[in-house]
Structures are given as structure tokens and as C-alpha cells.
């Protein structure tokens, strides 16, 4: 029996095929069935979405519980992943220069350890030489501010005395909290050493046999899903490498600019300030703001109000040059994230995992976003990312190639 020929019907938006008799009959039956159902269709759709969202929330809660319960294992592995993404461009360049894998790993690790050890040594050296002077000058500055407020005559002396006593007591309490925290850290030094060793071991394994490890991981998925998982993960990994490379450049620019500015203004602890700015810049947006406040506060406590204002100008200038001039150049191949998304993701990560959560939140969210977009659009077949990703925007649109395309070649 031949099918009924489809005719075109003109509409406001042009011509479209007219419905066949079978399609109209099926639509009518479906409408009658919905009308006879005791529960309205919108409510059924909302309920279907609701229980699926509840399942996703339960899975997410289980994942968060697992991370919190096994944080001594999870955090070193995640740190190793980020370090691998950070070292991957240099390690890949060494491999392209036909350097043996073992030698490339040793050079990458020794170079990284040497840089970190040098920065720590310089910071400790300057803190040991200037800490006492900074403390004494900060106390003098505090008394000067108190005398200045009293001379203004805006507040009664007893109110000022109560405020000073409150601030002093608060600082002493926080110092005790920090001391108890330091003692706790001292008691868990074994965990720290174990975490560092696990991170180094995992990093070496990722650099030496990352391809083999990932190949085994894909075998945990069903055969039909392996190509999609592989292609999406490769896109996500390319995004993570670009993110790490870009973030270290941004952190270096902020650290050098603010550290050199502090040294030129005569602000003490310029090297530790630069190191702290460098480390905190890996927490996008919020890290630079908090470390800038720290630099201004040290300048205010040691050098006075005018140097603090100048230090604030240096911080703002460095931030503007980095965000308005340099970022459009160095971020041309990295994930661009809306500031609102950055703040929300960092705060959520900090609420869940503290400092570690704030550090890992943005790269994890960017990775998940790229993987989800790649899977939902089917672009894992070519590695081409669509223009429909919302808060996150990835440039260039081709950031990785899936295994399907490699098989074609």
C-alpha cells in the first residue's frame, strides 16, 4: 500500500509539508488520551523533571561526600591532574625535540621544584629579616591612627577606647586560632608528606603513561559510548591545558607587577607579597582582589596612608593592564568565563572544600561544561565546539580531536 503523498502548505514563515491523514489521526488520539488522563500534562512533565533532578542531586551529594571522606586521596590526585595540565606544554615540547620520556619527566619535575624552592627560600629570607620591623612599625601606626581619631573629636574617648579594646581582643583571638591551626597542621605533618609523595607519584605516572591510563579508563564505559567519552574528554583536557597555561601567565603578570610596585614604593615584604599574589591568582577574580587588599594593608601599616594609596593605584593599574590589554591576547586559546560564573563557582567550591575547593572549582566547572556541550551536541565526532555554549565560551572553537576523527585518518 503506497503512502499518501505529502503536499506543501503555505504558512507565515514559508512553505512546509502538510500533515498526512495518519499523522493527523495520531495527533488526535494523543490529544484525547491527554484529555482523559487524571493528571494534567504540565504537572506530569514537571514531576518527570523533578524526580530526575532529585536523582542528579543525590548523585552530586554522594560525590561530594566521597570527596570529603577521601580527601587525603582525592586532593593529591586532583593536584597532580592540574600540575600535569600545567607541565604538559613544556613536556610535550621536550618530547617533540626527541628527548626521552624519562629525561623529559626529570627535567620538568626538577625545573618546577627548583622554581618553587627558590620562591619559598626568598620569601622566608625576607620575612625573617623584616618581620620584626614590620610588626613594630604596625604597632606604631595603630597608635597613630588611634591618636588621629581622638584628635578629630568626632567620637567620645570612651567609645574610641571600647572600639580599640574590641579590635585588640579580636586580633588576639584570631592569633590564638591561627596558633591552634598551626599545631593541628603540625600533628598532621605525616598526612602532608604522604599527600606530597602521592601527588609526585601520580604526576610521574600521568606524564609517563597518561595515554595508557586514559585508554584503560575508557574501557570502563560501554563500547558504544567509548568514542563519545573519549572525544569529549579530549576536548575537556585541551580546555584544562589551555586554562592552566593561561592562568600561570596571568598569575605571573600580577605577581611581578604588584611585587615590583611594592619594592619601588618601599613597602616591606615585597617578595612574599609577589609570591602570595602569584599563588592566589590561581583562584580567578577573587584571589587577585584579596591579595591586592593585603598589599595595601601592609603599605598602610608600615609606610602610611599616602604609600597605601599609591600601592592601591599600582594594584588597580596592574589589574587593568592584565584584564584589558594582556588577557585578550593570552586568552585567545583558553576558556573565557563570565565573572558572575567565576564568583559563584569559586564561592561554591570554597563552601564545599575550603581553599582546595576554591582552587579547583573553576577548572573543574570549565572541564565539565566543555564535556557536557561536546556530548550534548555530538561534536565529539570532529572536536568542533558549537556556538551555543552559554556562560563559558571556548576559543578557538576547535580545541581537540576525538578518537572518531583519528580513526577516519
From first to last of its 409 residues, the chain has per-residue pLDDT tens of 444 454 445 444 444 555 555 655 666 656 656 556 666 777 878 888 888 899 988 988 888 788 778 878 888 888 899 899 889 888 989 988 988 989 999 999 998 889 888 888 888 887 777 777 777 776 776 677 667 766 766 666 666 667 767 766 666 665 555 555 544 544 466 777 888 889 899 999 999 988 889 889 888 888 888 888 888 888 888 888 888 887 888 888 888 888 899 889 888 888 888 888 888 888 777 777 788 888 888 888 777 788 888 999 998 888 788 766 666 565 544 455 566 777 788 888 877 777 777 788 888 888 888 888 888 777 777 756 555 544 445 444 444 444 344 444 4
Closest CA to 282 of 251, 242, 240: 251
- Asked if residue 41 lies in contact with residue 34, where contact means CB atoms within 8 angstroms, the answer is yes
User: Any idea what the Cα angle at residue 387 is, between residues 384 and 392, rounded to 5°?
Assistant: 100
Cell digits of residue 7: 503536499
Determine the Cα–Cα distance for residues 87 and 113; give it in Å rounded to an integer: 12
Which class for 392: exposed (0-12), middle (13-18), buried (19 or more C-beta within 10 A)?
A: buried
Residue showing cell 625573617: 128
DSSP, collapsed to helix, strand or coil, labels residue 37 as coil
d(CA 48, CA 127) in angstroms, rounded, equals 60
Confidence at residue 408, expressed as pLDDT on a 0 to 100 scale: 42
pLDDT for 39 equals 67
Q: Could you tell me where the DSSP H helices lie in 97-222?
A: 101-152, 157-187, 189-218
8 Å CB contact between 84 and 203: yes
What whole-number distance in Å separates Cα of residue 82 and Cα of residue 363? 9
Q: Are 374 and 236 in contact (CB under 8 A)?
A: yes
Q: Beta 392-394 vs 14-17: how paired, if at all?
A: unpaired
For the chain, domain boundaries? 21-51, 226-409
Q: What are phi and psi of 9, to 5 degrees?
A: -125, 130
Whole-angstrom CA distances from 105 to 209, 211, 214, 238 are 11, 15, 18, 20
Instruction: Label residues 207-236 b or e (16+ Cβ within 10 Å = b).
Output: beeeeeeeeeeeeeeeeeebbbbbbbbbbb
Helices 270-280, 286-303: crossing angle, 10 deg rounding? 160
Q: Quote the CA–CA distance of 62 and 53 in Å, as a whole number.
A: 14
- What does the alpha-carbon distance between residue 221 and residue 328 come to, in Å, rounded to a whole number? 39
Give the pLDDT score at 400. Answer: 43
pTM for this structure? 0.68
* Beta strands at 8-11 and 14-17: parallel, antiparallel or unpaired: antiparallel
- CA atoms 272, 278, 284, 288: torsion sign: positive
| Helix 189-218, helix 101-152: angle, nearest 10 | 130
In the 8-state DSSP scheme, what is residue 381? G
Query: How many Cβ atoms from other residues are within 10 Å of residue 161's Cβ?
Result: 13
Amino acid at each position: 500500500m503506497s503512502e499518501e503523498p505529502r503536499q506543501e502548505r503555505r504558512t507565515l514563515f514559508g512553505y512546509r509539508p502538510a500533515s498526512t491523514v495518519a499523522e493527523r489521526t495520531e495527533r488526535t488520539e494523543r490529544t484525547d488520551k491527554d484529555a482523559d488522563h487524571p493528571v494534567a500534562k504540565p504537572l506530569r512533565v514537571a514531576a518527570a523533571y523533578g524526580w530526575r533532578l532529585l536523582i542528579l542531586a543525590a548523585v552530586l551529594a554522594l560525590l561530594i561526600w566521597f570527596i570529603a571522606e577521601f580527601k587525603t586521596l582525592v586532593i593529591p590526585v586532583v593536584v597532580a591532574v592540574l600540575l600535569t595540565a600545567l607541565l604538559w606544554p613544556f613536556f610535550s615540547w621536550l618530547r617533540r625535540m626527541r628527548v626521552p620520556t624519562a629525561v623529559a619527566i626529570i627535567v620538568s619535575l626538577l625545573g618546577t621544584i627548583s622554581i618553587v624552592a627558590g620562591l619559598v627560600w626568598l620569601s622566608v629570607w625576607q620575612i625573617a629579616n623584616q618581620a620584626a620591623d614590620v610588626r613594630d612599625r604596625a604597632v606604631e601606626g595603630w597608635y597613630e591612627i588611634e591618636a588621629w581619631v581622638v584628635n578629630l573629636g568626632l567620637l567620645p574617648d570612651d567609645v574610641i577606647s571600647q572600639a580599640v579594646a574590641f579590635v585588640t581582643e579580636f586580633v588576639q583571638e584570631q592569633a590564638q586560632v591561627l596558633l591552634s591551626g598551626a599545631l593541628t597542621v603540625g600533628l598532621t605533618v605525616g598526612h602532608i608528606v604522604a599527600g606530597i609523595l602521592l601527588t609526585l607519584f601520580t604526576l610521574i605516572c600521568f606524564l609517563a603513561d597518561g595515554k595508557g591510563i586514559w585508554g584503560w579508563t575508557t574501557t570502563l564505559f560501554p563500547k558504544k559510548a567509548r568514542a563519545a567519552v573519549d572525544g569529549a574528554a579530549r576536548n575537556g583536557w585541551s580546555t584544562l591545558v589551555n586554562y592552566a597555561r593561561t592562568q600561570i601567565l596571568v598569575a605571573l603578570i600580577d605577581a611581578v607587577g604588584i611585587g615590583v610596585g611594592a619594592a619601588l614604593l618601599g613597602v616591606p615584604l615585597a617578595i612574599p607579597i609577589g609570591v602570595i599574589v602569584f599563588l592566589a591568582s590561581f583562584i580567578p577574580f577573587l584571589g587577585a582582589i584579596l591579595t591586592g587588599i593585603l598589599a595595601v594593608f601592609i603599605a598602610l601599616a608600615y609606610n602610611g596612608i599616602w604609600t597605601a594609596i599609591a600601592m592601591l593605584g599600582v594594584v588597580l593599574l596592574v589589574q587593568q593592564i592584565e584584564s584589558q590589554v594582556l588577557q585578550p591576547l593570552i586568552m585567545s586559546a583558553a576558556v573565557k568565563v563570565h565573572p558572575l560564573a567565576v564568583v559563584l563557582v569559586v564561592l561554591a567550591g570554597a563552601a564545599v572544600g575550603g581553599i582546595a575547593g576554591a582552587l579547583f572549582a573553576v577548572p573543574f566547572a570549565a572541564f565539565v561544561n566543555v564535556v557536557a556541550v561536546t556530548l550534548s551536541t555530538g561534536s565529539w565526532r570532529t572536536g568542533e565546539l558549537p556556538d551555543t555554549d552559554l556562560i563559558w565560551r571556548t576559543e578557538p572553537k576547535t580545541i581537540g580531536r576525538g578518537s572518531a576523527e583519528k580513526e577516519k585518518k
